């Protein structure tokens, strides 16, 4: 167990050195997750961390978040059941609002992902799509799940396992 933790810590450190923007996003994510539980309304105190409409608050002057390019390394592992829950929960991933998913009919704003596995998309593509969709389409509707600290990396992987399964 300890050995596994050490390896994970080393990996995180390496990631932080190689991709500092990911480390910054990670820090904000930790701050949010200490107080916010997925499945509950987002706490309003965190929303001033992002650009806003206000004229009086500093968030009104924030530039849009920098585009983050990510790549996927290794094999895809995760919890499909949890991924399904994340994808269906209106206050967690809420993929269902815009997409149909394997086994679930959903919104029609985004393309149906019901047969996503059969399209055999690359893991790199799927991961980048979820993390920061602007790499493919700057005007895409999809939230920046990774860049804007909406989901954790674990959660994104679980969702990927869920939509990649046949």
Partner 1 sequence: MQRFNQSVINPAEFVAALLIAGSVTHASATDIAETTQHDYWPGRDKTIPHVSGDTNFSDTYQDWKDAAAIAAARAAGKASHEVNFKDFRWLVKSLDAELVIDEGREVFHRQNANGQSCASCHGENGEKLKGAYANLPKFNERLGRVVVGPSQIEVCASERLGQQDWRVDTRANSVLDMYVASLSDGHVVDIDVGTDGPLKTAYLKGRDLFFKRTGQFHYACASCHTPPTVGNYLRGQRPTTFFGDASQYPIYHFPYALPGDDLAHVFTLQHQIRSCQQLSRMHQGTEGSPSMTAIEVFLKASANGYPMSIPTQQYNLDTDYLEQ
Give which of 124, 39, 50, 153 is closest to 89, Cα–Cα. Answer: 39
* Residues 97-136 interacting with partner 1 (rule: CB under 8 A): 97-98, 106-109, 119, 121-122, 124-125, 128, 134-136
Check residue 65 for interaction with partner 1 (CB under 8 A): yes
Among 39, 69, 76, 154, binds partner 1 (CB under 8 A): 69
Other CB atoms within 10 Å distance of the CB of residue 150:
20
Nearest distance from C-beta of residue 17 to partner 1, angstroms? 18
Pick the closer one to partner 1 by CB: 16 or 32: 32
Residues that bind partner 1 (CB under 8 A): 42, 44, 46-57, 59-60, 63-67, 69, 71, 90, 96-98, 106-109, 119, 121-122, 124-125, 128, 134-139, 141, 143-144, 147-150
């Amino acid at each position: 167990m300890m050995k596994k933790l050490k390896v994970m810590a080393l990996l995180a450190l390496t990631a932080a050195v190689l991709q500092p923007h990911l480390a910054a996003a990670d820090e904000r994510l930790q701050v949010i997750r200490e107080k916010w539980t997925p499945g509950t309304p987002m706490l309003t105190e965190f929303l001033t961390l992002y650009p806003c409409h206000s004229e009086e608050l500093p968030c009104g002057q924030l530039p849009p978040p920098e585009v983050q390019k990510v790549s996927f390394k290794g094999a895809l592992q995760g919890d499909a059941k949890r991924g399904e829950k994340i994808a269906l929960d209106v206050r967690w991933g809420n993929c269902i609002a815009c997409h149909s998913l394997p086994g679930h009919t959903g919104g029609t704003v985004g393309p149906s992902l019901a047969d996503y596995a059969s399209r055999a998309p690359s893991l790199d593509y799927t991961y980048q799509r979820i993390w920061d969709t602007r790499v493919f389409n700057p005007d895409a509707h999809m939230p920046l799940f990774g860049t804007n600290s909406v989901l954790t990396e674990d959660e994104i992987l679980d969702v990927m396992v869920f939509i990649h399964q046949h």
